[in-house]
Structure 1
Amino acid sequence: MSATTSTLGQGSYSTLPPTLTEKLSKWLHWPLAIAGMVAALYLVFMVYTTGQAAWAAGLLVLFTAGFYVYLSRGGFAWRYLFPGVAGMLVFIAFPLVYTAQIGLTNYSSTHLLSESRVREYLLEQHDAVEDKVLAYSLHASGAEYRLVLKTEGEADPQWVSPPLALRAGKEVRVDVAAADAASTPTGTALPLPELIKHRDALAKLVLVQPDGSELRYLGLREFGPLKPLWTANADESLTRNADGAVFKPNRDTGFFESASGEVLQPGFKAFIGMANYARMLFDAEFRGPFLSIFTWTVVFSALTVFFATAIGMLFAVMLNWEGMKYRTTYRTLLFLPYAVPGFISILVFKGLFNQNFGEINAILDALFGVKPAWFADPYLAKTMLLIVNVWLGYPYIMILCSGLLKSIPADLYEASALAGASPATNFFKITAPLIIKPLAPLLVSAFAFNFNNFVLIALLTDGRPDFLSTKLPAGQTDILVSYTYRIAFKDSGSDFGLAAAISTLIFFLVAALSLINLRMSARAQK
């Protein structure tokens, strides 16, 4: 295979023939792109058919942007930025917006469905017409089967079906005819175990009598006509056929309600605006525990960062002393709390703090004759949480400070020694100011992490002990994130709307506190 050479001015270049890989890439480029477009449109269509028009529109926009960026020259500059931007939108912006949207609704375990789905559910409810229920038997007819129906207690059959294949699937309408000696099967009816095998197929049968009335499957031995329990009205209300009571959708409470105050279950999800946020501010029985939990969350995060920083920095300075023997051994031992998985350490401490069998109370009892109720007393429980969290957090600060100490010029300490400064003066005038500035952003992230430290609360105290006489169960050692979890998934009827509102508030609080801390740190570094 030869190459051609061209000359342009004083330079030259050679044009090599395309390789097989390049040819295949060129040939398959547009077929693969079109196949991807078709697959994307099919996915959008499937999402749309489920009734999720907004989600389908979002997917359509995302796919359109992706194909434009990677298939057109106009979007070339975005090819490296698009994955990051799309990931941020999908995994950060979308969950935040979706959570905020749920916080504006009454979404909960009693309001899971949409209003239209609740209406459909109620309209699907039927009751059997007892005086027209017919017993049936199933008879083999070659490879097919025939149904014989008769009134309970009578010997003569009334209706007979044509041969049926009995395959489970879509609903099948079958015309039945009056029974006579020629059409009635003479074989033995199938026993109950065989009926159970064909139950799914029998449930899909609709038997149509000559007068047009329909018989539906009622159980392993009966077919009969059904009467609807509800009738839909033009104004979106429902009428109960049994007594004529009218139920209208109340979009403030999320229930179908009658004029007398009777409420139908299930409820439906409704837009309630800022009601969940107003509940946090104006409902006294909810506001009290909520403000206490919020205050404790801030105090817990701040004290954890303060004590972990103080202890970690102190150990780092001590281990930086070159005259200390066995420094490597001490550094390894002090680093162990960070090396052990956190959930294991938390469970170990849970056993150590056990009031009756824990080693900590055994030592306190032997020395001072006291056995504190760590898990029952609110203040002791909070102290225990701080102790454990500082134990888990100080090694991280110690490692950071150890690295930062190496960056401090040694001549500063030499000049300080010539001036006769003490070690304490060196620490507060040289070491601490030079460490705290680069450490400030990491302390802000540590504060934000502890603001949402769900694992510690869930494994050690589970938020207990609880506040007394509250509308929603709330623990005195709960922080906002664990309190939200209890509201959404444990003790409070799965109030997803309220939990989403609190989660949205947590996001803005953490963002605001982090911004304030960053600005304060920036000012301190000037």
Structure 2
Amino acid sequence: MTATSSTLGQGSYSTLPPSLTERLGRLAYWPAAVMLMLGALYFVFVVYSTGQAAWAAGLLVLFTAGFYVYLSRGGFAWRYLFPGVAGMLVFIAFPLVFTAQIGFTNYSSTHLLSETRVREYLLEQHDAVEDQVLGYSLHADGAEFRLVLQPEGGAAPRWVSPPLALRSARQPVRVDLSPADAEHLPLTAPLQAALPLPELIKHRDALARLVLVRPDKTELHYLGLREFGPVKPQWTANPNGSLTRAADGVVFDPNRDTGFFQSSTGETLQPGFKAFIGVGNYARMLFDAEFRGPFLSIFTWTVVFSALTVACATAIGMLFAVMLNWEGLKFRTTYRTLLFLPYAVPGFISILVFKGLFNQNFGEINAILDALFGVKPAWFADPFLAKTMLLIVNVWLGYPYIMILCSGLLKAIPADLYEASALAGASPATNFFKITAPLIIKPLAPLLVSAFAFNFNNFVLIALLTDGRPDFLSTKLPAGQTDILVSYTYRIAFRDSGSDFGLAAAISTLIFFLVAALSLINLRLSAKAQK
């Protein structure tokens, strides 16, 4: 193969004819790009067709930016930055904004739908006209089927449908009925015997889409596995957006403060709809006395739990690190391995083991206390003991991390300082408080702030060990005395508090700002530690 060389300045380059793979790649480049564009547009259209216009617009902007970055000739640096920026927007910024937005609404298990969807749902409600309900039977007619309808008891008149394919469809299918006489319904062939109930169940979805029209233009709708009949709407829509109940003429207006269609007498309709309530959820945290009491107690306990965990774990971890740093200690490696084990074992396993150890009747801890002192503490029933148990378990899980950090920091302290201290006759306690602690606490401070933030959201420990219990008594929303903010939020959103997503989102937003503040403190401490 012959290469052509040229000189450009002090460098040289060679040109070779493109390989077959390169030529195929160039030929397939734009067709592949067009196919990806079409796929992206189709995905956006599908999202838009479901009624999510805002989501579709966001996806369109994201896809457009991506194609522009990777298909244009400029902006090569953005080709490396775009995945990270897009991931941050999709997985961090969007969930945060979406959660904060929910915090300003009454979104809950009773207010899941939009006002428009609730109105549509109510207008879809119908009552059957009982005196005109007809029974039906389904008969095979070759590869298709026919419906035969008649009043209960087999009385006349009867109607018959034309041959139907009974394919499932999204939209209602209108079918004209004919009188069941010899012309339209031979009582022998080609009709077969009526299909049994199991066969009717197989065709239920297709039958439910049928709207049967009698010769007098009366429409018959599917009412069940054995009946068709005319229906009358329960509600009628008014131009101002209100609904009128057909049975008694009572008008229900949409109340956007409560999220319900409500009459002048205060009667409300289910389901409710999602409505914007402003700072209502945040005001509830501050001004609703029945909610504020447990919430402030849980917030205070969250701070105390995180602070005590970090303080105790730091004290124990630092103590062990100093002891293991003593050159004269025998079997240091063995001790270090044993003390590291709580960190090596998966946390959820240790938590479940401790849950069994603290069992009031069968746990080993109470067995030992009963043998020594004749007591069996109710660790899970008494609020103080339950909190003490949480701290014990969390410190057990957290001290190895601090011990490892301190062990590394101790290696960086010059040995000359301890030698000079020994010549001055200083005690070990003086060495610790005058040399060791001041030199390791500064680089350790940012990590302690991170540990505090982690324990602020330590959901796994609470969920597996106490599940937030014992509960507060006589509260508007169920709340546990060992709950921390994150577990309390989960309880409000998904457990036994009516799935109040709006209130849970408001608390989650508060937690985010608290953790963000701790992160800023962490960054400042890290910057100071590097100086």
User: TM (normalized to structure 2)?
Assistant: 0.95
Are 2:112 and 1:112 equivalent residues in the alignment?
yes
Q: Amino acid of the residue matched to residue 352 of structure 1? A: L
Q: Give the aligned partner of residue 32 of structure 2.
A: 32
Q: Give the aligned partner of residue 169 of structure 1.
A: 169
SS in structure 2 at match of 1:81: helix
Are 2:153 and 1:153 equivalent residues in the alignment?
yes
SS in structure 2 at match of 1:468: coil
Does the 8 Å CA contact 1:135/1:223 hold for their aligned counterparts?
yes
Tell me how far apart the structure 2 counterparts of residues 142 and 368 of structure 1 sit (CA, whole Å).
86
How far did residue 422 of structure 1 move? Answer: 1.4
Q: Amino acid of the residue matched to residue 46 of structure 2? A: M
Q: Amino acid of the residue matched to residue 434 of structure 1? A: L
Are 2:337 and 1:336 equivalent residues in the alignment?
no
Q: Give the aligned partner of residue 295 of structure 2.
A: 290
Q: Which consecutive residues of structure 2, in runs of 5 or more, have no partner in the other structure?
A: none
Decide which of 463, 466, 471 is 1:461's aligned counterpart.
466
Does the 8 Å CA contact 1:444/1:518 hold for their aligned counterparts?
no
Q: Give the aligned partner of residue 513 of structure 2.
A: 508
Q: Give the aligned partner of residue 376 of structure 2.
A: 371
Are 2:188 and 1:183 equivalent residues in the alignment?
no
Q: Amino acid of the residue matched to residue 125 of structure 2? A: Q
Moved more, 2-11 or 302-311: 2-11
SS in structure 1 at match of 2:80: coil
Q: Give the aligned partner of residue 207 of structure 1.
A: 212
Q: Amino acid of the residue matched to residue 192 of structure 1? A: P
How far did residue 407 of structure 1 move? Answer: 1.3
Does the 8 Å CA contact 1:256/1:263 hold for their aligned counterparts?
yes
SS in structure 1 at match of 2:174: strand
Does the 8 Å CA contact 1:68/1:75 hold for their aligned counterparts?
no
Decide which of 434, 442, 449 is 2:447's aligned counterpart.
442
Identity %: 86
Q: Amino acid of the residue matched to residue 174 of structure 1? A: V
How far did residue 203 of structure 1 move? Answer: 2.1
How far did residue 517 of structure 1 move? Answer: 5.5
How far did residue 69 of structure 1 move? Answer: 1.5
1:353–1:13: structure 2 CA closer, same or farther, 3 Å change rule? closer
Q: Give the aligned partner of residue 324 of structure 2.
A: 319
Does the 8 Å CA contact 1:257/1:264 hold for their aligned counterparts?
yes
Superposed CA deviations along residues 291-310 of structure 1, whole A, max 9, x for unmatched, are 11111101110110111011
Q: Which consecutive residues of structure 1, in runs of 5 or more, have no partner in the other structure?
A: none
Tell me how far apart the structure 1 counterparts of residues 9 and 333 of structure 2 sit (CA, whole Å).
69
Tell me how far apart the structure 2 counterparts of residues 429 and 24 of structure 1 sit (CA, whole Å).
72
Moved more, 4-13 or 449-458: 4-13
Q: Amino acid of the residue matched to residue 184 of structure 2? A: S
1:288–1:182: structure 2 CA closer, same or farther, 3 Å change rule? same
How far did residue 28 of structure 1 move? Answer: 2.0
Does the 8 Å CA contact 2:450/2:522 hold for their aligned counterparts?
no
Decide which of 247, 251, 254 is 1:242's aligned counterpart.
247
Superposed CA deviations along residues 498-525 of structure 1, whole A, max 9, x for unmatched, are 0000000011112223434654676688
How far did residue 9 of structure 1 move? Answer: 6.4
SS in structure 2 at match of 1:112: coil
How far did residue 156 of structure 1 move? Answer: 3.6
1:88–1:524: structure 2 CA closer, same or farther, 3 Å change rule? closer
1:139–1:79: structure 2 CA closer, same or farther, 3 Å change rule? closer
How far did residue 349 of structure 1 move? Answer: 0.9
Q: Give the aligned partner of residue 477 of structure 1.
A: 482
Q: Give the aligned partner of residue 65 of structure 1.
A: 65
Superposed CA deviations along residues 445-489 of structure 1, whole A, max 9, x for unmatched, are 100000000011111111111111111111111100011111111
Does the 8 Å CA contact 1:148/1:157 hold for their aligned counterparts?
no
SS in structure 2 at match of 1:79: helix
Tell me how far apart the structure 1 counterparts of residues 225 and 25 of structure 2 sit (CA, whole Å).
62
How far did residue 19 of structure 1 move? Answer: 2.2
Pairwise CA RMSD: 1.8
Q: Amino acid of the residue matched to residue 16 of structure 1? A: L
Does the 8 Å CA contact 1:137/1:189 hold for their aligned counterparts?
no
1:134–1:396: structure 2 CA closer, same or farther, 3 Å change rule? same
Tell me how far apart the structure 2 counterparts of residues 525 and 14 of structure 1 sit (CA, whole Å).
49
Aligned 1:42-441 pairs, distance under 5 A = 42-170=42-170, 171-187=172-188, 189-193=193-197, 194-441=199-446
Superposed CA deviations along residues 385-426 of structure 1, whole A, max 9, x for unmatched, are 111100000001111111111111111211221222211111
How far did residue 351 of structure 1 move? Answer: 1.3
Superposed CA deviations along residues 151-200 of structure 1, whole A, max 9, x for unmatched, are 22344443222222222334321111223233223135314233333333
Does the 8 Å CA contact 2:148/2:161 hold for their aligned counterparts?
yes
1:467–1:25: structure 2 CA closer, same or farther, 3 Å change rule? same
1:198–1:418: structure 2 CA closer, same or farther, 3 Å change rule? same
SS in structure 1 at match of 2:329: coil
Tell me how far apart the structure 2 counterparts of residues 32 and 391 of structure 1 sit (CA, whole Å).
56
Does the 8 Å CA contact 1:308/1:394 hold for their aligned counterparts?
yes
Superposed CA deviations along residues 229-281 of structure 1, whole A, max 9, x for unmatched, are 11111001111111111111111100001111111000111111100000000
1:138–1:375: structure 2 CA closer, same or farther, 3 Å change rule? closer
Moved more, 219-228 or 284-293: 219-228
Q: Amino acid of the residue matched to residue 248 of structure 1? A: D
Q: Amino acid of the residue matched to residue 143 of structure 1? A: A
Tell me how far apart the structure 2 counterparts of residues 331 and 411 of structure 1 sit (CA, whole Å).
25
Moved more, 226-235 or 5-14: 5-14
Tell me how far apart the structure 1 counterparts of residues 126 and 260 of structure 2 sit (CA, whole Å).
20
Q: Amino acid of the residue matched to residue 180 of structure 1? A: D
Tell me how far apart the structure 1 counterparts of residues 251 and 115 of structure 2 sit (CA, whole Å).
16
Tell me how far apart the structure 1 counterparts of residues 125 and 8 of structure 2 sit (CA, whole Å).
84
Tell me how far apart the structure 2 counterparts of residues 404 and 370 of structure 1 sit (CA, whole Å).
43
How far did residue 215 of structure 1 move? Answer: 1.1
1:103–1:129: structure 2 CA closer, same or farther, 3 Å change rule? same
Are 2:36 and 1:20 equivalent residues in the alignment?
no
1:148–1:14: structure 2 CA closer, same or farther, 3 Å change rule? closer
How far did residue 63 of structure 1 move? Answer: 1.1
Q: Amino acid of the residue matched to residue 284 of structure 1? A: A
Tell me how far apart the structure 2 counterparts of residues 167 and 103 of structure 1 sit (CA, whole Å).
44
Moved more, 168-177 or 437-446: 168-177
User: TM (normalized to structure 1)?
Assistant: 0.96
1:441–1:164: structure 2 CA closer, same or farther, 3 Å change rule? same
SS in structure 1 at match of 2:467: coil
1:320–1:113: structure 2 CA closer, same or farther, 3 Å change rule? same
Does the 8 Å CA contact 2:139/2:195 hold for their aligned counterparts?
no
Superposed CA deviations along residues 70-125 of structure 1, whole A, max 9, x for unmatched, are 12233212121111111111111111111001111101111111111111111111
How far did residue 10 of structure 1 move? Answer: 7.1
